[in-house]
Amino acid sequence: MELTLWTYEGPPHVGAMRIASSMEDVHYVLHAPQGDTYADLLFTMIERRGKRPPVTYTTFQARDLGGDTAELVKSHIREAVDRFEPKTLLVGESCTAELIQDQPGSLAAGMGLNVPVVSLELPAYSKKENWGAAETFYQLVRGLLTNQTSTKEQKEHLPNRWKEANRRPKVNLLGPSLLGFRCRDDVIEVKKLLSDFGIEINVVAPLGASSDDLRKLPEADVNVCLYPEIADSTCQWLERNYGMPFSKKVPIGVGATKEFLEELHELLEMTPPDKNQISRKSRLTWYSESVDSNYLTGKRVFIFGDGTHVLAASKIANEELGFEVVGLGTYSREMARPVRAAAKELGLEALITNDYLAVEAAMEEVVPELVLGTQMERHSAKRLGIPCAVISTPMHVQDVPARYSPQMGWEGANVIFDDWVHPLMMGLEEHLIGMFRHDFEFVDGHQSHLGHLGGHQEKPKDDPQSIPSESSSSEESPTWTPEGKEELAKIPFFVRGKVRRNTEKYARQAGCRKIDGETLYDAKAHFKA
């Protein structure tokens, strides 16, 4: 039993809903009680979808349990098939139905429906949303393809057969889904990117795909695994069964986009892209070099989110923006291994957890200047008074912007530069406003977006006023004199926490009981040395 106040991922059947809703002609009959229908609002509210997810919930009640719940399942299946006429029917259960073991999948299979049925078994008590999405996508692809007699050509798949066939190379883009981070725009950007190199798109799935599209997957030369969380198992299966190789680089960031293109060219046995074709295509490179960006040097950044975006972010932060990564972690157990490896390379230990309070505590400990995280890290960072940009799901409605804002490709890198640097600048502005707050232009209460976004006004924890004064503190910890506090207040808020902690640490080491302005400067010199 695990005490959870808030969870990064939903249950696995929500992952299945993401796949079903992403596709065109799939319907999902979910054996579940009425309350589970809440999941619709994730799609209609967070993504502002104007369509209901294609899901029929059986909404069984306690009084049904004594009777024939199997018959109930069947009648819902029949009705859903008649009403929605799907091309593929997904059948599965949520946590509660898993316990009553009606086996809706086999029930459906025995009904003689004239539509392919894919039965989903998603263990709700051990797995989570992303796993459920990946498993559903995999089962769908497998289910639809194994019903097909594969042609000889498919079995002996050669990634360079496009040459012989005298056509352009074509690839599948696998993994984009609803409720994924910026998938809508990533697909557009990657399509654009590939068309620059004459690479055509065979199928994009699951986002926008039909059942027939899935049947066409083997017609591509290579698979592009855009979001490993969702598509890795499917890509592996297609490789095993159809000999289709797949790309492993995710094109988020300038360097990763280059590597992705090179990898894809190699897989397709194309001549490697011309250097000119892949350098300095994103403004991120020059923006980062420009003198204005000097102040970004060594910014301490804390990164937490899903595996894909966290890995990409740490590389961009480290190699392309000259930041210092001081914390790295993910809630995605499936991606723990690569994230651990990446952290190790940076001399860090990865934080693998589903507990947002542990993430907040880690953040508080390293006192970063920028947090890159999920919507929850935005809240935590706000409480700690640290600027934050959201780079991963779970997200809010505000993280699904109206404007074009991919993360992938050259334009994605531009977007990332803006999205990360903007909060840092606003943080600086906030500080300047603080410094000049006695000037008449600055009316009381004026704040940047950091102050008023969303409304709960909490004092940042390092507000000098909230430091316990001399009389109230305990034996061991040194106390701040009023003059010391005044000096501390002059330190920009985004480093204040760090300075305060360092100074207290120094004071303890030096056996100093009272911290005044001098102690602060002593500490500063001590830690620089």
Partner 1 sequence: MSGATLLKESGPREVFCGLTSIVWLHRRMPDAFFLVVGSRTCAHLIQSAAGVMIFAEPRFGTAILEEKDLAGLADAHEELDRVVHDLLARRPEIRTLFLVGSCPSEVIKLDLARVAERLNSKLNGTVRIVNYSGSGIETTFTQGEDGALKALVPLMPTSQDEQLLLVGTLANAVEDRLVKLFNRLGITKVSSFPPRQSTNLPSVGPGTRVLLVQPYLSETARLLKDRGAEILCAPFPLGVEGSMLWMQTATSSFGIKDSTVQEILNPLILRARQALTPYKEKLTGKRLFLLPESQLEIPLARFLNRECGMQIVEIGTPYLNKEMMSKELELLPENTVVVEGQHVEKQLDRVREKHPDLVVCGMGLANPLEAEGISTKWSIELVFSPIHGIDQSSDLAELFSRPLHRHELLNRKQLANA
Inter-axis angle of helices 307-315 and 228-242, to 10 degrees?
100
E strand or H helix at 171, and its extent? strand 170-174
- Residue 370 host element (H or E): strand 370-373
SS (H, E, C) 207-251: CCCCHHHHHCHHHCCEEEECCHHHHHHHHHHHHHHHCCCEECCCC
Nearer to partner 1, 123 or 482 (CB): 123
Strand partners, 351: 329
What residues have CB less than 8 Å from 150, skipping those under 6 apart?
A: 218, 242
Indicate the residue among 298 and 454 with the shorter CB distance to ligand SF4: 454
- Using CB under 6 A as the binding rule, whether residue 379 contacts ligand SF4 is answered as yes
Q: Are the beta carbons of 329 and 303 closer than 8 angstroms?
A: yes
What residues between 106 and 125 interact with partner 1 by CB under 8 A? Answer: 123-125
Q: Is 33 in the site for ligand SF4 (CB under 6 A)?
A: yes
CA–CA separation, 125 and 128 (whole Å): 8
Residue 453 binds: one of partner 1, ligand SF4, none (C-beta under 5 to 8 A by kind): ligand SF4
Residue with smaller CB distance to ligand SF4, 383 or 498 = 383
Give the nearer residue to ligand SF4 in terms of CB position, either 38 or 286. 38
Short-list 178, 234, 204, 212, CA closest to 25? 212
Question: What does the alpha-carbon distance between residue 231 and residue 284 come to, in Å, rounded to a whole number?
Answer: 28
Q: Could you give the string, one character per residue 122-141, with x where binding to partner 1 holds by CB under 8 A and - elsewhere?
A: -xxxx-x-------------
Binding of ligand SF4 at residue 243 (CB under 6 A)?
no
Residue 59 lies near partner 1 (rule: CB under 8 A)? yes
Of the two residues 357 and 453, which places its CB atom closer to ligand SF4 in the complex? 453
Q: What separation in angstroms does the CA of 504 have from each of 218, 284, 285, 498?
A: 63, 39, 39, 10
* Residue from the set 4, 35, 212, 425 that interacts with ligand SF4 by CB under 6 A: 35
Least Å distance between CB 18 and partner 1? 13
**Binding partner of 357, given partner 1, ligand SF4, none, CB within 5-8 angstroms per partner class:** partner 1
User: Please, which residue, 41 or 525, has the CB nearer to partner 1?
Assistant: 41
Distance (Å, whole) CA 57 – CA 73: 9
Q: Does 454 bind ligand SF4 (CB under 6 A)?
A: yes
Of 25, 78, 100, 355, the one binding partner 1 (CB under 8 A) is 100
Please confirm, yes or no, whether 292 is among the known catalytic residues.
yes
Is 511 one of the binding residues for ligand SF4 (CB under 6 A)?
A: no
Least CB distance to partner 1 at residue 180 (A): 17
Q: What residues from 24 to 43 belong to the interface with partner 1 (CB under 8 A)?
A: 33-43
Q: Is 165 in the site for ligand SF4 (CB under 6 A)?
A: no
The answer to whether 70 contacts partner 1 (rule: CB under 8 A) is: no
Q: What DSSP designation does 318 have?
A: I
* DSSP state at residue 410: H
**Residue of 289, 458, 486, 518 that binds partner 1 (CB under 8 A):** 458
Q: Which of 185, 212, 221, 292 is catalytic?
A: 292
**Closest C-alpha to 9, from 173, 124, 157, 89:** 124
Residue 519 bridge partners (DSSP): none
CA-nearest of 339, 329, 272, 333 to 302 is: 329
Residues 6+ apart with CB under 8 A from 451: 430, 457
Residue from the set 453, 482, 513, 525 that interacts with ligand SF4 by CB under 6 A: 453
Using CB under 8 A as the binding rule, the residues of this chain from 378 to 397 that contact partner 1 are: 379, 383, 396-397
**Which of the residues are catalytic?**
292
Q: List contacts with ligand SF4 (CB under 6 A).
A: 33, 35-36, 95-96, 378-379, 396, 453-456
Q: List contacts with partner 1 (CB under 8 A).
A: 1-7, 9-11, 13-14, 33-45, 48-52, 56-62, 65, 76, 79, 83, 94-96, 99-100, 123-126, 128, 357, 376, 379, 383, 396-397, 454, 456, 458
